């Protein structure tokens, strides 16, 4: 059998891990099971990645890169601010419907990362990356439309993503098409209002 370098084996193992864990859940993603999924020795996984956590980190990075690419591709380059937010929300929601298994897997891995110190940095990098891209797209849409943002783009991006994550979790847990549509429309309206200064922030006692 021809020798396969670690650089070549790496994407193969990431895909095998994603296929296996998408089908059977993160708990099933042992290095032995992932190796069997690809048809290689378990030692190949450890040689390529070191530990199971290192492989999980690579899977999270891969899924995050795909999500960021979807966010970037979803934003139109010739629309006003509100139209951009609506297009962004609509395009992302289509991926939630059509690629629910990927969102499910990323959610499972994120929950695992909350309890796994070695995955903490990856979890934080995932969140930072998505926020930065979303904030940049909002800044660009505002500049293109001559639209003055009433709040920092990062604040608006975090608000939008928090709402979108909530809708995604509801979709994964208990799908309801009518409620999802209304929630998505409300999210776009609220994000636009926050960006334009029509949605005022109020003091909330937290201590």
- 135/46 Cα distance (integer angstroms): 38
- 166/10 Cα distance (integer angstroms): 33
Phi-psi region of 181 (alpha: psi -120 to 50; beta: other; left: phi over 0): alpha
Reported as a single tens digit per residue, the pLDDT across 149-194 is 999 999 999 999 999 999 999 998 999 999 999 999 999 999 999 9
Burial class (CB in 10 A: 0-12, 13-18, 19+), 12: middle
Asked: is 1-50 a CATH 1.10.1740 domain? The reply is no
Which residues make Cβ contacts (< 8 Å) with residue 131, sequence separation at least 6? 154, 157, 158, 161
Q: Which of 97, 78, 79, 75 is nearest to 88 (CA)?
A: 75
| Residue 44: HSE in the Cβ half-sphere, 13 Å Cα cutoff | 23
- What is the band of 1 on the pLDDT scale with cuts at 50, 70, 90? very low
pLDDT for the residue numbered 48? 93
> Sign (positive/negative) of CA torsion 51, 37, 16, 111?
negative
- 17/130 Cα distance (integer angstroms): 23
CATH topology identical between 1-50 and 53-196:
no
pLDDT for the residue numbered 159? 96
- What is the band of 148 on the pLDDT scale with cuts at 50, 70, 90? very high
Considering the segment(s) 53-196 as one domain, its CATH architecture is Orthogonal Bundle (1.10)
pLDDT for the residue numbered 4? 77
Q: What is the pTM of this model?
A: 0.86
Tell me the H-state helices in the chain: 6-24, 31-38, 42-49, 52-74, 81-98, 100-114, 120-145, 153-173, 177-196
pLDDT of 3 strictly over 80 = no
Reported as a single tens digit per residue, the pLDDT across 28-57 is 999 999 999 999 999 999 999 999 999 999
| Domain ranges (residues) in the chain | 1-50, 53-196
Chain mean pLDDT for the chain: 90
């Amino acid at each position: 059998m021809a020798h396969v370098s670690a650089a070549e084996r790496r994407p193969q193992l990431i895909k095998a891990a994603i296929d296996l864990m998408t089908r059977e859940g993160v708990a099933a993603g042992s290095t032995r099971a992932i190796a069997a999924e690809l048809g290689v020795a378990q030692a190949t996984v450890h040689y390529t990645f070191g530990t199971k956590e290192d492989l999980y980190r690579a899977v999270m990075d891969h899924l995050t890169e795909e999500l960021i690419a979807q966010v970037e591709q979803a934003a139109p380059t010739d629309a006003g601010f509100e139209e951009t937010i609506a297009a962004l929300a609509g395009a992302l929601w289509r991926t939630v419907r059509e690629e629910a298994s990927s969102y499910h897997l990323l959610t499972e891995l994120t929950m695992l990362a909350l309890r796994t110190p070695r995955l903490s940095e990856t979890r934080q990098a995932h969140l930072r990356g998505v926020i930065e891209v979303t904030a940049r797209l909002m800044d660009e849409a505002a500049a293109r439309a001559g639209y003055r943002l009433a709040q920092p783009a990062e604040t608006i991006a975090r608000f939008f993503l928090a709402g979108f994550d909530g809708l995604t979790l509801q979709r994964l847990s208990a799908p309801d098409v009518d409620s999802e549509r209304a929630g998505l429309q409300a999210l776009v309206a609220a994000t636009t209002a926050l960006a334009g200064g029509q949605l005022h922030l109020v003091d909330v006692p937290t201590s």
